[in-house]
Structure 1
Amino acid sequence: MTLADRWPLEDHLDLRDELLGAWDRAGYHDLLHLTEVLDRLDLLAGAGVGFDRTTVALAAWFHDAVYAGAADDEEQSARWAERALPPAYATEVARLVRMTQHHRPDDSDEAGAALSDADLAILAAPRRRYDAYVAGVRADFAEVGDADFRAGRAAVLTDLAAKPHLFHTTQARALWESAARANLERELAGLSGR
């Protein structure tokens, strides 16, 4: 099955094609990232995490659709969803996209928890994929000097590591928490020169 076949709405194929074009770029926030997030949503659904699959899949398609490394990327992506999607989906998808800016869904937000967990599951990737992910993130911020990138990346990782749990669903914690913590610790040590 191709990525295009995973579009959750039977119609709106022009929108699907626009999104595929938006995701077709270098760096980490690319077509592979979208594919991995969709794969992880399928895994979480199969493990019993309850969420509306169409809505959360649409949020995955939109969550990094606008990506320039700017503070308002999520907001721009959410606004695109609000403009482009049918009313039955637009508001909830936009809310979920905005949530990915900080990955801190409310405890009762099953859809937000699933999307956040699927998006952050890259943190638990095997070392080779994790290192490729880090290189992709660096490519996303190629215009930023090394010292500033290291400081910014360390701040993001430190903020994530300070959370009691990186993942919000019990299924994701069982699957990914320990590996993700180990990867974060290893990367933070490298950023600080330890």
Structure 2
Amino acid sequence: MTQPAEPLLDRWLADAELLATRAGRDLWLAEGSMLLGHWSQEHRRYHTPQHLAEVLRALDELTGAGHLDARQALLARAVGWYHDVHYDPAARPGSNEQRSAMMARDHLHRMGVEDWAVDAVEAGVLMTADHDADGPGRVAEQQVLDAAHDADLWILSAPADRYAAYRTQVREEYAHVPDDAFRAGRAQIIGAFAERERIYRTAHAHEGWTARARANLAAELADL
């Protein structure tokens, strides 16, 4: 499924105006076009505008449930935009998130975003490397980190047909990895999530998404 770029760009422009009020439309538009260009790179199969749109919809749901106020929601959406802006499936673990965080910091500063907001977005992007929202240096903007964590992992709780498509997309992104190695690595990753006492950090996601997530994870582990 392809995600049309226009609605996403409109969402970015609306948020950019709030994040970087004085940057002006030309800079907002250039940044949004750059972001969507990265998200639309040909080598991507899962980390695409579809995933970005799902993250933003999950954040909308968490905001509607009262987990985030307007300011926090804005920061969490910015994390969503930048968290996979750099994505190379052959990169060493953590490298994509580090490079995405550096890009976020550099580009947001260039647009005149205030330091405290840049720091919050950077922390959120770095958190997605290990999905440890309590890690060192991640205390500030805890609600933003929790929401970004859950939105990025919404896919684990997707309806069965979407989860099946997600599995296919991930395998296609890692087509360079032999089957045995992929199955072992994938089992290790999703097994770690399945073993967590709590997959989601916000009350809304914990209560509403956990059952589907555990069912999806158990089914995939059985297949592997």
Do they fold alike, i.e. is TM over 0.5? yes
Q: Which amino acid aligns with 1:32?
A: Q
The equivalent residue for 1:3 is 8
1:126 pairs with 2:133: no
Q: What CA distance in whole angstroms lies between the structure 1 residues aligned with 2:132 and 2:208?
A: 19
Distance in 1 separating the partners of 2:175 and 2:87: 13
1:95 to 100, 111, 123: 123
Q: More deviation in 104-113 or 56-65? A: 104-113
Structure 1 residue ranges, 4+ long, deviating more than 6 angstroms after superposition: none
Question: Which of the pair has more CA radius of gyration?
Answer: 2
Match of 1:74 in 2: 97
Given candidates 154, 157, 167, the residue that maps to 2:200 is 167
* Superposition deviation, residue 105 in structure 1: 0.8
Residue 82 of structure 1 aligns to a residue whose secondary structure is helix
CA distance in 2, matches of 1:129, 1:136: 10
Structure 2 CA distance for aligned equivalents of residues 29 and 15 of structure 1:
18
Return the alpha-carbon distance in structure 2 between the equivalents of residues 155 and 32 of structure 1: 25
Q: Quick one: distance in 2 between partners of 1:139 and 1:49?
A: 34
Counterpart position of 1:62: 82
Distance in 1 (alpha carbons) for counterparts of 2:152 and 2:122: 16
Counterpart position of 2:40 = 24
Which of these residues, 33, 37, 43, is aligned with residue 51 of structure 2?
A: 33
Specify the code of the residue in structure 2 equivalent to 1:49.
H
1:189 pairs with 2:189:
no
Supply the AA of the counterpart residue of 1:161: A
Instruction: Confirm or deny: 8 A CA contact 1:68 1:140 kept in the other structure.
Output: no
Kindly provide the CA deviation profile for residues 132-181 of structure 1, in whole angstroms up to 9, marking residues without a partner as x: 00111111111101111001100101111121111001100111000000
Provide TM-score, normalisation by structure 2.
0.82
Q: What do you get for the CA RMSD once the two structures are aligned?
A: 1.5
Is 1:140 the counterpart of 2:173? The answer is: yes
Take 1:15 and 1:75, find their aligned partners in 2: how far apart are those partners? Answer: 19
Deviation at 1:50, TM superposition (A): 2.3
Contact 1:83 1:90 (8 Å CA) reproduced: no
Q: Is the 8 A contact 1:84 1:90 kept in 2?
A: no
CA separation in 2, counterparts of 1:79 and 1:161? 31
SS of 2:153's partner is: helix
* Aligned equivalents of 1:95, 1:119: Cα separation in 2: 14
Q: Percent identity?
A: 40
TM-score by length of 1: 0.94
Q: Residue 65 of structure 1 contacts residue 77 of structure 1 at CA under 8 Å; is this kept in 2? A: yes
Aligned to 1:44: 62
For 1:114, the equivalent position in structure 2 comes to: 147
Q: Which amino acid aligns with 1:3?
A: L
Between stretches 2-11 and 124-133, larger displacement belongs to: 2-11
Contiguous gaps of at least 5 residues in structure 1: none
* C-alpha displacement of 1:84: 0.3
Question: 2: CA distance between counterparts of 1:77 and 1:177?
Answer: 28
What stretches of structure 2 of length at least 5 have no aligned partner? 1-5, 18-23
